């Protein structure tokens, strides 16, 4: 009579490995809400950009779509990521609507 215990353990280990791999590959990347506005944003406001700060980059102010209207969000400092440059967020027209593209490091 042969033992099936090693075979069951190997099958179990394979099942766990496959399940773990599937969980890692099927998990969504950092999901971000898609912001869509029905009208163009107002022109940007003129901001006084503070004097440069070592280790930081200025992220300009922007119009944010909030509860059916645009509201101004003032600029702020972003901590520099060595080897990257800051791409500011911006509005892009898609057909009759406007979509917000979040600022990011590239």
- Each residue's pLDDT tens digit, 64-90: 999 999 999 999 999 999 999 999 999
Q: How many CB atoms lie within 10 A of CB 62?
A: 20
Q: How many CB atoms lie within 10 A of CB 61?
A: 16
- Each residue's pLDDT tens digit, 2-48: 555 554 544 544 444 444 444 343 444 456 678 999 999 999 999 99
pTM, rounded to two decimals: 0.65
- 3-state SS class at 66: strand
Contact, 84 vs 19, CB < 8 A?
Answer: no
């Amino acid at each position: 009579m042969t033992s099936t215990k090693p075979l069951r353990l190997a099958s179990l280990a394979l099942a766990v490995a496959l399940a773990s791999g599937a969980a890692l590959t099927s998990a969504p990347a950092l999901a971000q809400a898609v912001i869509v506005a029905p009208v163009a944003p107002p022109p940007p406001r003129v901001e006084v950009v503070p004097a440069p700060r070592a280790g930081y980059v200025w992220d300009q102010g922007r119009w944010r779509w909030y509860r059916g209207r645009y509201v101004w969000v003032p600029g702020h400092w972003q901590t520099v990521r060595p080897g990257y440059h800051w791409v500011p967020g911006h509005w892009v027209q898609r057909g009759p609507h406007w979509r917000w593209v979040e600022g990011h490091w590239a």
